[in-house]
């Protein structure tokens, strides 16, 4: 199986539209104004050399790379480019494609020469989209995903059970897909600092720290094991969410109520537009108070598609907002019943951001 990852995807799409930006540091985020409260969606390799990274406040990125070109996010352009890429991947001989996002996908294949197949795939993507991609080859999804990082940019790398420990064994656990800095820190407290140590750990020994599901899963990640099946089943959204970061903190209760109601209407518009015919069964209101404390208010609701009912339940959640405390961000998520929930006889779990 292959993991295909488009190189600096959003920045690359922008360069296609503005060839004069090639080779320059590019930062994409918000409406392209560093004075706004917005974060970096992506940065070109040239911008990353200055320490700019995704998720960084746009104003901080502008200070780190003052000569960078800062552009607004254009989701429609990126979605169109992504759809062309995924169509190209599906058009490859014998390919099963599992889309992970705008800029990455797993591709399942049967071939005696995966490197040669991969080079043909890369050439097809470049020919159809003028975008370059890196590809990881693996015998599990985990190994293919991790392998991609060694192939960047525009390269190919293979990780299998045979070379997993040689390549990954001495690396810190945070280098694994699914293990971030926080989890790596918790593992370190257990005396586990490298991928090899995690892979050799007793799965049951991780249960007290991480629980009966995540503990064994982390041990599995350390070995690079896991599923070796690419699933092309169409993804069904569990819910729809929107959020807004305000240029000036909200303090007036009237303005806060208006903002919450506007969010609810935007989310309900997306729910209606999805044409999935699934009712809303849960709501989560996210409130980020200044300077940067986030609290969520969530509740299950009786399955409904009635807009007035959902607006009323959203207002109930908003009653938990702390009076007089400045608000810099509000978000609302509506969780929808999944197609098989009624048949399976269980209640879906709450989603989140």
List own/partner pairs for 159-168 with CB under 8 A and 24 or more apart.
Answer: 159/224, 161/224, 164/223, 164/224, 165/195, 165/196, 165/199, 168/195, 168/196, 168/224
Position of tokens 């599906």?
90
Using alpha carbons only, how large is the chain's radius of gyration in Å?
Answer: 23
CA angle 343, 348, 351 (to 5 degrees): 150
From residue 133, alpha-carbon distances to 6, 21, 121, 123 in Å are: 4, 19, 9, 9
Count other Cβ atoms within 10 Å, centred on residue 289.
16
Q: How many whole angstroms separate alpha carbon 51 and alpha carbon 77?
A: 26
Q: Evaluate whether 99 touches 234 at the Cβ level (below 8 Å).
A: no
Q: Answer left, alpha or beta for residue 35, where phi above 0 means left and psi between -120 and 50 means alpha.
A: alpha
Q: Dig out the tokens for 257 from the structure.
A: 């109520």
Residues 6+ apart with CB under 8 A from 291: 328
Q: Which phi and psi (to 5°) does residue 60 adopt?
A: -70, -40
The strand pair at 280-289 and 293-304 is best described as: antiparallel
> What are the start-end ranges of the E strands in 84-155?
96-101, 104-108, 133-138
110 DSSP 8-state letter: -
Q: Which phi and psi (to 5°) does residue 44 adopt?
A: -70, 165
Determine the 3-state secondary structure of 256 from DSSP: helix
Residue 104 known to be catalytic:
yes
Active-site residue among 14, 46, 104, 335? 104
Handedness of CA 275, 279, 281, 287 (dihedral sign): positive
The residues annotated as belonging to the active site are 104
């Amino acid at each position: 199986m292959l993991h295909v990852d488009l190189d600096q995807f959003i920045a690359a799409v922008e360069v296609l539209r503005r060839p004069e930006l090639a080779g320059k540091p590019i930062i994409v985020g918000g409406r392209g104004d560093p004075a706004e409260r917005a974060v970096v969606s992506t940065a070109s390799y040239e911008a990353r050399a200055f320490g700019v990274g995704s998720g960084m406040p746009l104003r901080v990125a502008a200070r780190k790379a003052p000569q960078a070109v800062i552009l607004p996010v254009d989701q429609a352009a990126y979605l169109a480019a992504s759809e062309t890429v995924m169509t190209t991947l599906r058009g490859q001989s014998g390919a099963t494609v599992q889309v992970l996002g705008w800029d990455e996908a797993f591709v399942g294949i049967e071939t005696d020469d995966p490197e040669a197949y991969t080079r043909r795939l890369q050439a097809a993507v470049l020919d159809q989209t003028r975008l370059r991609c890196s590809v990881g080859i693996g015998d599990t999804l985990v190994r293919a995903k991790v392998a991609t990082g060694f192939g960047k940019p525009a390269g190919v790398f293979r990780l299998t059970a045979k070379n997993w420990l040689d390549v990954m064994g001495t690396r810190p656990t945070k280098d694994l897909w699914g293990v971030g800095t926080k989890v790596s820190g918790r593992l370190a407290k257990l005396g586990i600092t490298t991928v090899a140590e995690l892979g050799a750990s007793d799965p049951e020994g991780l249960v007290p720290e991480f629980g009966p599901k995540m503990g064994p899963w982390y041990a599995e990640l350390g070995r690079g094991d896991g599923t070796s099946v690419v699933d092309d089943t169409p993804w069904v959204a569990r819910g729809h969410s929107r959020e807004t970061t305000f240029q000036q903190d909200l303090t007036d209760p009237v303005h806060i109520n208006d903002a919450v109601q506007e969010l609810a209407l935007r989310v309900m518009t997306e729910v209606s537009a999805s044409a999935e015919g699934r009712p809303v069964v849960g709501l989560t209101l996210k409130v980020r108070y200044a300077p940067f404390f986030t609290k969520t208010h969530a509740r299950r609701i009786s399955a409904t598609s009635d807009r007035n009912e959902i607006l009323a339940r959203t207002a109930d959640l908003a009653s938990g907002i702390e009076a007089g405390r400045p608000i810099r961000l509000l978000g609302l998520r509506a969780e929808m019943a999944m197609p098989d929930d009624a048949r399976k006889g269980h209640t879906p779990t709450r989603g989140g951001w």
